[in-house]
Structure 1
Amino acid sequence: MDAAQKYLGENSMAGITFGLLFQLKALVTNGWSTFALINKLRKLSSSMTDFRRKELQKYPVVGSQLSFLDAMISRGDLFHPSIMSKELLVFALAATDTTGNALAFTFTLLGMHPEIQEKVYEEVITEIGRDTPIEIDHLPKLKYTERVISESMRILPPVNMVARYINKDIQIGDKTFPKGANVLIYTLALHRNSKYWPNPEKFDPDRFLPEEIAKRPSSCYIPFSWGPRNCIGKVYAMMSMKVVVANVIRNFRVSSKYRSIDDMEMRCFITMRTINDIDCHFSPRN
């Protein structure tokens, strides 16, 4: 897989080959059970789409507040049923695996850095309180907590590569990427590039202070991808993670046996996660 990762990073046909390598990996590691699960998910999303289409025929939605699925169904001339099912799966899976990994990494890093964890705790208690239900109006006040989550996704991005189709020739250094090529951007390498991130393996939430952000190109930080086709769930994901981190940290202390990110053995494919169970422990606060 190391060789495959290198190939994906260098070959202009990466986008086409990527799907084939994913299927090969599934066969090698988990056998046909992986494909059985994928087919089951496809059938589920297809049945959900069919059910919702019939519901809309009986009870049309009035107004402009259509859900994503309703909007696709209403434009059946643009979206084939198979495309709708695939998009539904993307939304369901992308919103769980990525956010879950990002939270796991964030809590582990807080367990490794108790002094940063206490700053999060102090901010949450000061701005919200110990028992007050967290409301949407509280979230903009959690500025340090947001910086912690942002730094966590820099040093351990849950999605460690972004695919793009090139619509015109691009020259980078002595390499030319031709129009029509599929390329992968290696997020992990970009997020730890010392040109933009001094001491890149250090966990430092203050990298995301406004004055620090202004010192570097915005495109050197892409946990949600970048540009007009960035992650559609970016705002919702950040809101969700802030609520979870705030709620957990105000009620629990987090600890970890890891002393640096080098202690965490990672495997990287579409998403990044630890090879073994992550070491992260929660104990109630008095």
Structure 2
Amino acid sequence: MPIAKALTIAGSDSGGGAGIQADLKTFQELDAFGMSVITALTAQNTLGVHGVFPQTLEAIEAQLEAVLSDIGADAVKTGMLFSPEIISLVAQKLTEYKVSNIVVDPVMIAKGGASLLQEEAIRALIDDLLPIATVITPNLPEAAKILGIEEMKTLDEMKEAAINLHKLGPKYVVLKGGHLMNGPAIDLLFDGETIYELRTERIETTHTHGTGCTFAAAIAAELAKGSSIKSAVETAKAFITAAITSSLAIGGGIGPTNHSAYRRLREE
């Protein structure tokens, strides 16, 4: 069997619940070989983000060149990119190396409220990264920011937003509905023709740090192994549901999801 190779381009979370650390744990759990390009260091724990230290463009380019020129990647997941310059560089390199299966998680705000993307970077995200994306995985606040609209409050508004996000260039849109407050947790997958609803029971927990990173990384791992987009998203939904159900009450704030939960459930 060929080795599935997945690359995460994101920020480092010193608390281990999100970012590079969450992505690599997810890749490992889903049998993909994980690699990383670190765009920023964050001083972070369950109580919040205490510092953001972007890497230089030179350092980011050197990491991209080192991985893509030698090992390559069957799928790439982007997370915290922080600035327009970093976004443009990443888009340029992914295009140069003809990378397929690009999963864009448009990380903007940490669970504790800290900004992880400069306001001016949203334009670069729309102009440079979305047109080459295989799939974009925003939550409702992120989708609203990208589209310049008020945050969605209904399923119909979500469906309209998914269609409008697709017009920006990605082949597929996965719009996460966890911020809708009533009823089941509903995510939408739009392939340009059909909107699929993925529903699970809402899990009552405050420990959801890293859910977005983990979900997108699971999609990337499955795409790296050759899964279809629908199968990849369904597996990612099952993975993150298990991880949230068994989330970890560690630290004094918002704890992380449990990245081993999906594997443990399958082993039972």
TM-score (norm 2): 0.24
Structure with the larger RCO, 1 or 2 (CA within 8 Å, 6+ apart): 1
**Greater percentage in helix:** 1
Larger Rg: 1
**Greater percentage in strand:** 2
